[in-house]
Amino acid sequence: MLIDWCDTLHFELRQDGLISRSDDAAPGAEALPADDLTVRAARALKAATGTPLGVHIHLEKKIPAQAGMGGGSSDAASCLLALQQLWGLRLAPEKLHLLAAELGADVPFFLSGGHAWVEGVGDVITPITLPDAHFLVVKPSAGLSTPEIFGSPLLKRDTDVATIADFAAGPDAQIFRFGQNDLQPVAQKLCLPMVQSLDWLKANQLQGRMTGSGSAVFAHLPHETNVSAAPGDWTVRKCSNLRKHPLASW
């Protein structure tokens, strides 16, 4: 699902063929690696097409790191789409998706242009339509390491498969509560602030669940809801879902 909590990327054409990046990270945020996913995406597209052109990428980082919100993956996909325009390229969609999959399992989803049911290792993508909705997204100060969660012996790996048929057959009122996140029980043992944020949502009569590999959590807002004050080191934001990716028509 796409929501309106987004990073902003600026692209400046370089004639010297070099790829560079700068960023406006939030004060106190951990510095982004020099070889982040946007840079790797640009290099991959340049290598695949042989273009002599380069780019300077400036990233306004607004999506929290280590939140499980797909910030890096969405930036990489946006980079692939934008650079095709900037460099005057047009890779076949299947080749672009293969390139995206090499960058990360979540990147192809963000190329799909809208909401989707994703299976396999991010390579089987079925577009779906979701109603307009609002969510409360909470990011506690602590982050979570995705490799640590996937490497945990506590991770349940034999959950019954959820199918798109089951999803489509469910009542509309339950559409944003469908299924479960098998990473959440492991994450809750590794990150007490995430547990506290789930408890805070529950205290405000909201049913929370973890985003991706955490540590952010979210709850569907079926109506306008007043919530109690959250701890000062949390980031709490009301979000809406997007009908399509801003670059979907590209």
Q: Residue 225: is its pLDDT beyond 90?
A: no
Percent of the chain with pLDDT over 70: 96
Q: pLDDT value at position 164?
A: 84
CATH number of the domain encompassing residue 168? 3.30.70.890
Q: Are residues 82 and 58 in the same domain?
A: yes
Q: Are residues 38 and 100 in the same domain?
A: yes
Q: Are residues 141 and 184 in the same domain?
A: yes
Q: Are residues 14 and 33 in the same domain?
A: yes
Question: Is 187 part of any domain?
Answer: yes
Q: Are residues 140 and 236 in the same domain?
A: yes
pLDDT 10s digits, 56-83: 999 999 999 899 999 999 999 999 999 9
Q: Are residues 87 and 155 in the same domain?
A: no
On average, the pLDDT of the chain sits at 91
Q: Tokens for 10?
A: 């600026």
CATH number of the domain encompassing residue 107? 3.30.230.10
Q: Roughly what angle, to the nearest 10 degrees, separates helices 71-86 and 37-49?
A: 40
Q: Are residues 229 and 140 in the same domain?
A: yes
pLDDT 10s digits, 161-192: 888 888 877 777 678 888 889 999 999 999 99
pTM: 0.90
Q: Are residues 139 and 219 in the same domain?
A: yes
Q: pLDDT value at position 170?
A: 73
Q: Are residues 167 and 76 in the same domain?
A: no
Question: Is 232 part of any domain?
Answer: yes
Average pLDDT over residues 25-53: 87
- The count of domains in the chain is 2
| Residue 87 domain boundaries | 8-124
What's the 3-state SS for the chain?
CCECCCCEEEEEEECCCCEEEEEECCCCCCCCCCCCHHHHHHHHHHHHHCCCCEEEEEEECCCCCCCCCCHHHHHHHHHHHHHHHHCCCCCCHHHHHHHHHHHCCCHHHHHCCCCEEEECCCCEEEECCCCCCEEEEEECCCCCCHHHHHCCCCCCCCCCCCCHHHHHHCCHHHHHHCCCCCCHHHHHHHCHHHHHHHHHHHHCCCCEEECCCCCCEEEEECCCCCCCCCCCCCEEEEEEECCCCCCCCC
pLDDT 10s digits, 148-160: 999 998 898 888 8
Q: Are residues 88 and 162 in the same domain?
A: no
Question: Is 20 part of any domain?
Answer: yes
